[in-house]
A and B are shown apart, each in its own frame.
Chain A
Amino acid sequence: MDLRIKLPENAGEDIVYSLPFRFANDGERVDGIFCTDREYIYIYVGGELEEKYKISDFSEFVCRRQIGSSMAQGIKEDGEAVCFCAFSQEMFVRYGEVMKLLEHYVRTGELITETDEDEPVCPNCGLPLEGGSECVYCKSKGSTILRLLKRIGPYKKFFITAVICTMVSELIWVFMPYLDRIIIDDYVTPKVHEWTGFVSIVIAIVSLLLTAGVMELLNMRNSFRTALNIGRDLRQEVFEKSQQLSMSSLSKRTAGELINRVSGDAAKLEEFITANGKDAIVKLLSLLMIGVLLFVMDWRLALMTIVPIPVVFFIVKKLFNVMALRYTAVWKHSKNHSETLHDILNGIAVVKSFGSEAREIAHYEGCSLKWAKACVRAEIMWYLTIPFSEFVLTVGNFLVLYFGGSMILDRTMSLGELIQFTTYVAMLYEPIRWLIHIPRTLADTSVSAGKVFEILDMQSDVRDIEDPVDLDIKGDIEFDDVYFGYKAYVPVLKGISCKINKGEMIGIVGYSGVGKSTMINLILRLYDCTQGEIRIDGVPIKNIAQHSLRSQVGVVLQETFLFDGSVLDNISYARPDAPFEDIIKAAKIANAHDFIVKLPDGYNTRVGNKGYQLSGGERQRIAIARALLHDPKIIILDEATASLDTQTEKQIQQALGRLTAGRTTIAIAHRLSTLSNADRLIVLDKGKLAEFGTHKELMKSKGVYYRLVMAQRETTKMKKAAPQNTGSTAEAF
């Protein structure tokens, strides 16, 4: 990454980093340069040196992202912050890198002058590379439609059969007018009663028609087979990709959007291949074939036929770009429509409880109306242009009829020949008409193809290394100077180092937003840490195969998601091949068996969205049973008992106790009392590990944990006092 973008005019040769900025530290708009040598940071404004700071005066360097701008700050040992300058967001990654390198310099004394980080944006299109070295948008040059057609490859046997069958039937149709001509010229016009020849021609026509029918049947069979297989492949690939992508990539898209791409867009591509894939080849071939025939028959009449064609193609070419844009708008509104529908129906309970049905109906109506309007705009454009193009195209036909008629009168052409010729002209116009309609189809399809390939081209930012380790996890976890931020250069966790031993129960505590869930996400490797390393049993987590890691980690969250299916399906989700006895055992240990027995269909009771409504505690116990059946080596409990009443919590705690026995457990809980059985506690503060020890040790040291406990005791007291107050108020009334 280039960190010397713009140097001040009179800069010395020892300048290490030099970046432009737009705002001075008081927010005034300026044309400035931030640069450093080994000792100082220099701030130039309008070419003049405005400020000079000694690098060693600062202990920390940070980039703060604001709304439309960001600032570069240095923080001194006593906490005093100094803003060097502020800049617009396209410079954020470069400033972030400089701040990181300066902090490394003050910490270690090593000044890195050439960073091996990749350029933040693609030099070709300007889009951010987001960690990759190649731009996914510029990498594959092939057009989307071409990429789509390449997918025919695995089914080329069916596809080629379909093409051959269509070509044979096209040839038959081309031969037919010749037979018509013989009948007219040899039997109808001279009024000849020679039946043998006439009957043999009729037999030839019938047999050819039958053959064409059989060819058409074979063609349809093979075309559908190709298209349906390609459609299935695309749907499968988009779905597989959605499962492979990391959480950070997936969180950018709504579930509705992904559903739309798996089903809607892939179906459109399938339809395109069925209707147009082989047609493209056959229509072009028949265009060529009939064109040659027309010229052989009469080159002057043939010329008259093709005169309007270039005009039509010019219109078609112009139309393609406009239609592509109009269909993009249709796609956008259709997507908004389905997402709105998904959103409202998912939150139907909230809509009803607030009595806002009318508002949502109006909201939906708005989206639906916009979609309809976009469709109308696209179709109007189409239907305004097409009749005109078709008229221009058929002008040649009138010329042929006029001059052909004159030739018959002059006896230079027979009636049969003219009929054969005009039939060929009509046949020539058919592929041309198809070509006129192609921009509409192509535009519509290329939008959908673009959306499907956009998902397929996405790169997961959490990837397995080339030869990942399949580790049989024992349960030792080590954080070694771990830094992480959901957005680059905005760290949520800073320099976390700790060692968790096999079989230990560790509680993570701290204020909201301090990074507790982030630590868990890193252990699950839903994200990769930006600096430092996490090791499990001494093996870096990045070297362990994701499948191997996650199959040995069990998670119980605050909100349990149950799939649509039976209780049995949901528990056995962790191990589909588990014998039923093991499932009952897991349910028993999870305190779930007793309530399952009371359900109408026992273990076969359908639960989830469409099934029997279970309470929060019951769902939680099914989740614990699921985790138990999984037999994980590491257990993660994220606020597992937060939303439960005291009685239910007791039962769940009991179940959790059995689940966690002998396994490395990491638990997050806001209610510190629920972590009473933790062996040690990690206390996070401002993204750093503030304290690590047993409850007793931490209470003794009277640090952050002590303050948290005291604050919570105070709240509990207040809560206990509250009902009494209510009571006295009630009495007073």
Chain B
Amino acid sequence: MPNETKDEVYEVDKLTLLDCAKIHLTQEKSGFLTLEYGGQTYSRVDPTRLIPFLSKTTYISLSYENEEKEFREIGVIKDMKELSEKQYKLLDRFLEYKYYMPEITKVYSIRDNMRGAIFVKADTTSGEKTICVRDWYQNFRMLSAKYLYVNDADGNKYFCSDIEKLDRKSRNVLEMFT
């Protein structure tokens, strides 16, 4: 929770780009982060990737919920590279875990049960698995010409940033479903 004074006005129409040199983040027991910035301390800060499919380390919004459960954005980090190494690591670890999304590195086979679900046997950065995708025409789709996004039946997300870079067999298997 922030130490927000009662008179402070939340300017909803103003984009605040944060000065990375002044950012000091620390890990909280709650799982979220505490931010010290411009003399203010904000707790339960929840960083969000504004363009998660396009960039993982630029345009990171830092926000919290006030006592009324209203959304409050503190500001946006334009590029995490500007942060100190320690701060970068801390924020990156949080984002990597919040957006935990194994990358598909190889596709062995895809079985269609002809009733809207497919079973994708694949190698991912978190090991080999069979990914069950329900309503696959919604949840197994190309976000651009190369970026494959998969949302499995449990809500786990997988991606492949460039399907062109996969081996030939994987590309052949994927061809029918992308």
Q: Are A66 and B153 in contact (CB under 8 A)?
A: no
Known: A28-B93, A89-B155. A511 touches B31 (CB 8 A): no
| CB of A7 to closest CB in B, whole Å | 22
Q: Is residue A446 contacting chain B, with contact meaning CB distance below 8 A?
A: yes
Q: Are B100 and A453 in contact (CB under 8 A)?
A: no
B112-168 residues at the A interface, CB under 8 angstroms = 112-117, 119, 130, 132, 134-135, 137, 152-157
Q: How far is the CA of A604 from the CA of B45 in the complex (A)?
A: 59
Q: Are A88 and B115 in contact (CB under 8 A)?
A: no
Q: Are B176 and A127 in contact (CB under 8 A)?
A: no
Known: A25-B29, A88-B156, A89-B156. A67 touches B99 (CB 8 A): yes
Q: How far is the CA of A726 from the CA of B27 in the complex (A)?
A: 48
Which size bracket describes the interface of A in this complex?
Answer: 35 or more
Q: Are A68 and B98 in contact (CB under 8 A)?
A: yes
CB < 8 Å neighbour of A68 from B29, B99, B114, B115: B99
Q: Is residue A361 contacting chain B, with contact meaning CB distance below 8 A?
A: no
CB < 8 Å neighbour of A86 from B29, B97, B157: B97
Q: Is residue B96 contacting chain A, with contact meaning CB distance below 8 A?
A: yes
Q: Are B154 and A511 in contact (CB under 8 A)?
A: no
Q: Are A27 and B97 in contact (CB under 8 A)?
A: yes
Question: Can you pick out 29 interface pairs between chain A and chain B where the beta carbons lie within 8 Å of each other?
Answer: A23-B100, A26-B93, A27-B93, A27-B96, A66-B98, A68-B98, A68-B101, A68-B157, A69-B98, A69-B100, A80-B29, A80-B30, A81-B30, A82-B29, A83-B30, A83-B32, A88-B156, A92-B154, A126-B132, A127-B117, A127-B132, A128-B134, A325-B112, A329-B177, A332-B137, A332-B177, A449-B114, A451-B116, A511-B70
Q: Is residue A394 contacting chain B, with contact meaning CB distance below 8 A?
A: no
A155-189 residues at the B interface, CB under 8 angstroms = none
Known: A127-B117, A137-B113. A686 touches B69 (CB 8 A): yes
Q: Is residue B44 contacting chain A, with contact meaning CB distance below 8 A?
A: yes
| CB of B116 to closest CB in A, whole Å | 5
Instruction: Report A's interface with B, CB cutoff 8 A.
Output: 22-23, 25-29, 64-69, 71, 73, 79-83, 86, 88-90, 92, 121, 125-128, 137, 144, 252, 324-326, 328-329, 332, 335-336, 446-447, 449-451, 453-454, 457, 511, 685-686
Q: Is residue B68 contacting chain A, with contact meaning CB distance below 8 A?
A: yes
Q: How far is the CA of A195 from the CA of B119 in the complex (A)?
A: 72
Q: How far is the CA of A23 from the CA of B126 in the complex (A)?
A: 13
| Chain B residue contacts of A64, Cβ below 8 A | 31
Q: How far is the CA of A247 from the CA of B101 in the complex (A)?
A: 30
Known: A71-B31, A83-B31. A128 touches B154 (CB 8 A): yes
Q: How far is the CA of A25 from the CA of B27 in the complex (A)?
A: 9
Q: Are A127 and B153 in contact (CB under 8 A)?
A: yes
Q: How far is the CA of A90 from the CA of B130 in the complex (A)?
A: 13
| CB of B157 to closest CB in A, whole Å | 5
CB < 8 Å neighbour of A73 from B30, B96, B176: B30
| Chain A residue contacts of B152, Cβ below 8 A | 89
Additional 20 contacts, C-beta under 8 A, given A80-B29, A89-B156, A335-B137: A23-B97, A23-B100, A27-B27, A68-B99, A68-B156, A69-B97, A71-B31, A80-B30, A88-B100, A89-B155, A90-B154, A125-B132, A126-B130, A328-B176, A329-B177, A336-B137, A450-B116, A451-B116, A454-B115, A454-B116
| CB of A211 to closest CB in B, whole Å | 42
CB < 8 Å neighbour of B31 from A22, A73, A450: A73
| Chain B residue contacts of A252, Cβ below 8 A | 135
| Chain B residue contacts of A90, Cβ below 8 A | 154, 156
Known: A137-B113, A332-B137. A67 touches B98 (CB 8 A): yes
Q: Are B176 and A326 in contact (CB under 8 A)?
A: yes
CB < 8 Å neighbour of A67 from B52, B134, B137: B52
B1-51 residues at the A interface, CB under 8 angstroms = 1, 27, 29-32, 44
Known: A68-B157, A73-B30, A326-B176. A446 touches B115 (CB 8 A): no
Q: How far is the CA of A457 from the CA of B113 in the complex (A)?
A: 14
Q: Are A125 and B113 in contact (CB under 8 A)?
A: yes
Q: Is residue B94 contacting chain A, with contact meaning CB distance below 8 A?
A: yes
Q: How far is the CA of A329 from the CA of B32 in the complex (A)?
A: 43
Q: How far is the CA of A420 from the CA of B135 in the complex (A)?
A: 55
Most buried by A among B30, B68, B152: B30
Most buried by A among B68, B152, B154: B154
Q: How far is the CA of A444 from the CA of B1 in the complex (A)?
A: 57
Chain B 75-119, CB within 8 Å of chain A: the 1/0 string?
000000000000000000110111111000000000011111101
| Chain A residue contacts of B117, Cβ below 8 A | 125, 127, 137
